[in-house]
Structure 1
Amino acid sequence: MKKDVKRKRIVFLIGSMRRGGAERVISILANHYAKINWDVDILTLLDSKNDYKLDNRVNVISIAEEGKSRAKQLPTWLTAIRKYISINKPDRVVSFIARINIITLLSCIGLKQKVLISERNDPRADGRSPIIALATRILYPLAGRVVFQTQWAKECFSKRIQQKSLIIPNPINVELETLKPSKKKEIIAVGRLVEQKNHRLLIRAFKVVHDKFPQYKLYIYGEGHLREELTGLIKELEMEQFVFLPGQISNIHQKMAESEMFVLSSNYEGLSNALLEAMSIGLPVVSTDCAGSNELIRDGENGLIVSKESEKKLVDAISHLITDEILREKVSSGAIADSKNFRKEVVLKQWVNTIESL
C-alpha cells in the first residue's frame, strides 16, 4: 500500500488582491501552483477584496481588522502570520512589497522558514519612511531570496542583500489574437490617478499637442484620489471634449489596440505593467525617464524616453510620433520584439525556478 505523499504548500502575503502589478503576479503564481497540485493560500493584510480570477483551489485569507489603523493592526498581523506558519508549516513563503516584507520577516524570526520577498517599486522614490528604509536593510538579509524588478532597485541596497537577490521582470499576459486593432486618433495612458503617475504633466502637455493636432483625444484609464483635481484641470484647460477619465475597465488591452500611442508620465515606477502590455501590442510608446522605463526603452528604437517633468520634451516626443510614420513603425516593431522577453510563460519559469530553488 502506497504511503500518502504530503502535498506541498505555498503562501503569498500582500496587502490586498485589488488591481495592481504585484497582485497580478501573485494571481499568476497562485494559479500555477494550484494547477500543479500544491496547497495555495494568499494572506491579505488590508482587506478581503479580490479583483483577479483565481483557481477555486486558491484560498484567500484576510487577516485584516478593517476600520483599525495600520499601526493598531500590526500586533494582529504579526501574531496571525506567525500562527499560520507554525500550524501550516508551508514549504515556501512569498511576500510582496516593502512593508509587507518587513512584517513577514519579523513574523518568521526563529521559525526556520524559507522566505522569498520581492520589492515592487523604486525604493528611493516611493515615499517610504526612514524607519521602513532602515527596516528593509536590517531584515532583508534574513530572507532566502530577494527579487527585484530592475537593476536600479537592486543597486539601492547593500552588497549583502544584492548577493542573495536576482531580477525578475513583470510578466505580461495579453491575448493578442483576440484584439481588433483599429488605430484611432487617440492617445492612451493607464495608471492610478495618484501623484506618482503625474497625469497633470500629461494633461498639460496634451493641451499643447491638441492645439497643433486638434483631431486627437486623450484617454487616461484608472482610478484614484486625484480624480476631482484632474477633472478640474481638464475643465480649466477647456479640454472636456478631448481628455477623458473613464476609470478602470476590463477590456483595457482592446482600448490599447485601438489607440495610436501609449504615454507613461510617471515620476517613478517599479516596472510599469501597462507600458509592457502596450509594447507587446505594438503601440509606439513615450515614457518619462523613470526607473524601469530607462532600462527597458532604447530611445528611438523601441520607444521614446523624455526627462521627467519636462512638459516641452513630452510635447515634442508625442508630436514627433504623430508626424513621423516611419518612426512609429520602427519603435512599434522594436517594442514587439523586445516584449517577448516578458511573456507570461517566460517570466513564470523564472519565478518558479527561484521559488523552488530556495
Structure 2
Amino acid sequence: MAILKIVQLITRMDKVGGAQKHVEALAIHLKQDGHDVTVVTGSYQPSLWHLQEHKIPVISISALQRAIHLAKDFQAFWQLRAVFKHLQPDVIATHSSKAGVIGRIVGRLLQIPTIFTAHSWSFTEGVPYKKKLFYQRMERSIQPFTTKIITVSEYDRELALMKKVAPAHKLLTIHNGIDPIERNKTTEKICMEQPVIVMVARFEVPKRQDVLLKTLAELTDIPWHLQLIGDGSLRPALEHFVEQNRLSNRVTFLGNQLDVHSYLEKGHLFVLLSDWEGLPISIIEAMRVGLPIIATNVGGVKELIIDRDNGFLVERENNELLKKRLHQLLMDAPLRGEMGTASEQRYLQYFTFIPMYQKTLMVYQQAVSELVKKGD
C-alpha cells in the first residue's frame, strides 16, 4: 500500500464538534498506518485534542474563519496556497463549508486531488431559505474543482443529487464511525431513582437545548436529571432560563468535556434535538455505550435511529410528542434497557471506525491514482 502525504483541512479546531472529532480520528489512524498527515485549520485550541501527543503537525491559518469576509477569505486563499505549495501533499481532504470552498479552489489550481466531506450540507432541510439558496449555488459552482465528495449519510447524498450540486459518479456515502471502547462493566448508573438524560452539543444554531429544557420544565412531576455537555454563545440565556424556572438542582451545565464517554456510560438516556444534522457522531457515541436515543428526525438521523427500536424519532416542532416520548422513557426502565441494547448492537453492526476509515482511505488512494493516470 502506497504511503500518502495527506492534508486534513477544516475551518476551525477551537470548538468540539462532529466534523472536528472525525478529522482528529482520521489523522491519528492515518499517522499510525505510516501516512504523512498534517492538519490545517483556522482557530486551533490544542487542549481540546490529542493531535500533539501523536506528533501530528497542525498549521493554523489565522485568516480562515467560518463567517464570510471577502478580505480575510482572499488572505486565507493565499495563505493556504503557500502552505500547500510548501507541503506538496498527494491529496487534500477538506471538511466544513469555508475550508471546503477555498481548499478545493487552491487544490485545483495546484493540481492536487481534493476530496470534500460534507458533514451536513449548508442547504439542507431546516436551514433558512436565502442561506440555503446561496450555499446550493456556491456548491454547484465549486463542484468542478472537486475530485470526489463524501457524504456522511445517504440522506445527504440523495439531497446533493436532487439539488443537482454534483453528478452521481462524484458522490459516495461513507457513514461516520467511531472506535469501540472497552465497556466499564463496574460503572454505576448514577442516582438510579433519578434517570440521567445526557445531551452533547455546542450551544449554537442548529442545536436546540432550549426545546429540551422547555419540555422538561413541564415534566417536573417525574424524576430526571439533565446533563448538558458543550459550550457556546447560547449557553448564558439557557442558564438564566434554568434559574428562572427553578431547575438548577435538576440541570447541570458541564461545558466542553474531553471524556464525554464516561458521562454517557453513567447516563440512562441520550437526547439530541437539532434543526438540521448530517450524521451526528454524538448519537453514535451514545449508541456505543448502549443508550436509548430521542432525536429530531432530520438529515441522516433516521439512518442511526430506527423509531421504536433503539429510540424515538420526533419531528421538529412536535413538542407534544417529544414530551410524551421523554415521559415514556423516563418512567420505563425495562424499555430503556431494551432500546439501549438495540442501540449498542446497531452501533457494532454499522458504525464502527475501521470500515469507515478503510473506505475513506480508498477514496484518497483512488483520487491520487486517477491524477497519475491523467498525467500519463
Shared fold by TM > 0.5? yes
- How far 1:180 sits from its partner (Å)? 4.2
TM-score (norm. length: structure 1): 0.90
Q: Residues 137 and 157 of structure 1 are in contact (CA less than 8 Å); yes or no, is this contact kept in structure 2? A: no
Change (3 A) 1:7 1:334: closer
Q: Aligned runs of 1:309-320 on 2, under 5 Å?
A: 309-320=317-328
**Greater alpha carbon shift after TM alignment, 134-143 vs 94-103:** 134-143
* Partners of 1:174 and 1:254 in 2: CA distance: 14
For the pair 1:21 / 2:18, whether they are aligned, the reply is yes
Change (3 A) 1:94 1:137: same
* Partners of 1:179 and 1:82 in 2: CA distance: 50
Aligned-partner SS, 1:209: coil
Q: Find the partner of 2:233 among 225, 228, 239.
A: 225
1:345 corresponds in structure 2 to: 354
1:166 corresponds in structure 2 to: 172
2:105 corresponds in structure 1 to: 106
* Partners of 1:296 and 1:121 in 2: CA distance: 15
For the pair 1:199 / 2:205, whether they are aligned, the reply is no
* Partners of 1:210 and 1:92 in 2: CA distance: 53
Aligned-partner SS, 1:41: strand
Q: Residues 187 and 261 of structure 1 are in contact (CA less than 8 Å); yes or no, is this contact kept in structure 2? A: yes
Paired amino acid for 1:20: G
Paired amino acid for 2:177: P
* Partners of 1:57 and 1:228 in 2: CA distance: 36
**Greater alpha carbon shift after TM alignment, 347-356 vs 277-286:** 347-356
Q: Aligned runs of 1:64-143 on 2, under 5 Å?
A: 64-65=62-63, 70-122=69-121, 123-124=123-124, 125-126=126-127, 128=131, 130-143=133-146
- How far 1:94 sits from its partner (Å)? 0.5
1:3 corresponds in structure 2 to: none
Q: Find the partner of 1:8 among 4, 10, 19.
A: 4
Q: Residues 284 and 335 of structure 1 are in contact (CA less than 8 Å); yes or no, is this contact kept in structure 2? A: yes
- How far 1:173 sits from its partner (Å)? 3.0
Q: Find the partner of 1:144 among 125, 138, 147.
A: 147
Aligned-partner SS, 2:167: helix
TM-score (norm. length: structure 2): 0.86
Change (3 A) 1:257 1:308: same
2:197 corresponds in structure 1 to: 187
Q: Aligned runs of 1:167-316 on 2, under 5 Å?
A: 167-178=173-184, 180-183=186-189, 184=191, 185-211=195-221, 213=222, 215-316=223-324
- Percent sequence identity over matched residues? 22
* Partners of 2:137 and 2:299 in 1: CA distance: 21
Q: Aligned runs of 1:47-58 on 2, under 5 Å?
A: 47-50=43-46, 51-54=48-51, 56-58=54-56
For the pair 1:59 / 2:21, whether they are aligned, the reply is no
Per-residue CA deviation, residues 279-310 of structure 1 (Å, 9 max, x unaligned), is 11011111111112122211111111112122
- For this pair of structures, how many residues does the alignment match? 350
Aligned-partner SS, 1:197: coil
2:35 corresponds in structure 1 to: 38
Change (3 A) 1:180 1:137: farther
Structure 2, unmatched stretches of 5+, are 368-376
2:374 corresponds in structure 1 to: none
* Partners of 2:362 and 2:276 in 1: CA distance: 29
> What is the alpha-carbon root mean square deviation over aligned residues?
2.3
Change (3 A) 1:324 1:57: closer
- How far 1:70 sits from its partner (Å)? 3.7
* Partners of 2:4 and 2:336 in 1: CA distance: 49
- How far 1:56 sits from its partner (Å)? 4.1
* Partners of 1:314 and 1:178 in 2: CA distance: 31
* Partners of 2:100 and 2:229 in 1: CA distance: 29
* Partners of 1:178 and 1:297 in 2: CA distance: 24
Change (3 A) 1:144 1:320: same
